[in-house]
Amino acid sequence: MCKLMNNLSCPRCHSHNLYRFGKDKAGKQKYQCRNCKRQFTLEDCSGKKKSLLRGYPRCPVCGYGMYLHHDYEYYSHYTCNSKKCAHSVYVAKPNNIQSASCELIKGKMDFKRMRFPLFLILSALNLYYLNGSSTRRISQFFKVTYNIKVSHVTIASWCKKFAPIFLSIANRLTKNLDLGTSDEWHADETVVFINGEKHYLWLIIDSETRMVLGFNLTASRDASQAFALFKSASKFGCPSAIVTDRLDSYNLAAKTIFNNSKHIKVQSFKDDISNNLIEAFNDTFKDWYKLKRGFKSFESANTLIAMFIFHYNFLRPHYSLNNLTPAQVAGILVDEKAMNNWLLSA
């Protein structure tokens, strides 16, 4: 039975003959006047505007207003007011999404005050990340070739401490890079071990340039980690399609961050579109990773992976790209002389 509200009055006819009439789109209690049939809320009586409804998006299908269906930590779900349309829109909350691990690199920002010359340091890095040599073998190589004694511990520190330099170079070169015209971006995760514990390396790669757009090293595979990965890659644009496996963590992240992209979930190897491209990168990474016999800490693993991906994107020629690097295919026209200038300027 409807309860009579004697302590309120209708804003139109000022009648006290009222009863409850459900709730509005913002969840506020509505009332209806029995005399003039006016529907209103307490905010209408006080003269205040419905501030909660401000800034809501318009329906991209029919142009109607939308209401907040659900509000979650990383995104908001809006639904069209038109019952005939009922289209849904997912809007991300960038400030609430955590940063991917690829954005949390710390270390030395220049090559100054180093005991050994720059060419020796760069040679050690190339041997470590491109050729897969161990630090002990690199130390032996320097002793035999240049008659320079460098401890393998020193070389191991070089491989980690200069990561911010290469990260700043990558950010500067890809500042205006737009890969939104690409047909597909592929995302996947692979297992790595840190101090004997299982962790997951999330990766996203462009199908046309073979460039790794971002990574996220985590201890779990929940949806928040997929949000962080896609947020870090969204600075390069929005592709036509996102290709992933059937992991549920990708669903809401792809629908929210890349709401204009088609989400393709690979079902089997017989599908027309497969995830073999990023699986091939995983094999390349695992060939390098196995020589390390696991990582000792999360910070060192995150740093070493970032350095490996930099060498993969900017310095390693690819047979499938006519012996060009992904950076060159993406339109960052660089040659060997320019690569040397990157590091000398650092």
pLDDT in tens, 197-221: 999 999 999 999 999 999 999 999 9
Q: What is the pLDDT of residue 49?
A: 47
Please work out, in degrees rounded to the nearest 5, the angle formed at the alpha carbon of residue 187 by the alpha carbons of 163 and 134: 40
Structural domains of the chain ordered from first start: 1-52 (2.20.25), 55-92 (no CATH), 169-345 (3.30.420.10)
Asked if residues 30 and 23 have their Cβ atoms less than 8 Å apart, the reply is yes
Asked if residues 172 and 326 have their Cβ atoms less than 8 Å apart, the reply is no
Show the tokens assigned to 4: 């009579």
Confidence of residue 270 (pLDDT cuts 50, 70, 90): low
Residue 187, classified by CB atoms within 10 Å of its CB into exposed (0-12), middle (13-18) or buried (19+), is buried
Question: Is residue 47 scored above 60 in pLDDT?
Answer: no
Least confident residue range of 107-111, 150-154, 268-272: 268-272
What is the per-residue pLDDT across 48-96, written as a single tens digit (0 to 9) for each? 544 444 578 888 888 888 888 888 888 888 998 888 888 888 888 888 8
What is the per-residue pLDDT across 143-161, written as a single tens digit (0 to 9) for each? 999 999 999 999 998 888 8
Q: Tell me what the pLDDT averaged over the chain comes to.
A: 84
What is the per-residue pLDDT across 1-34, written as a single tens digit (0 to 9) for each? 444 455 678 877 778 888 888 887 777 888 888 8
Dihedral of CA atoms 140, 142, 146, 151 in degrees, nearest 10, equals -90
Question: Is residue 290 scored above 80 in pLDDT?
Answer: yes
Provide the 3-class DSSP secondary structure of residue 66: strand
State the number of CA atoms in the 13 A half-sphere of 283 facing the CB. 6
Residue 346, classified by CB atoms within 10 Å of its CB into exposed (0-12), middle (13-18) or buried (19+), is middle
Across 232-242, average pLDDT:
92
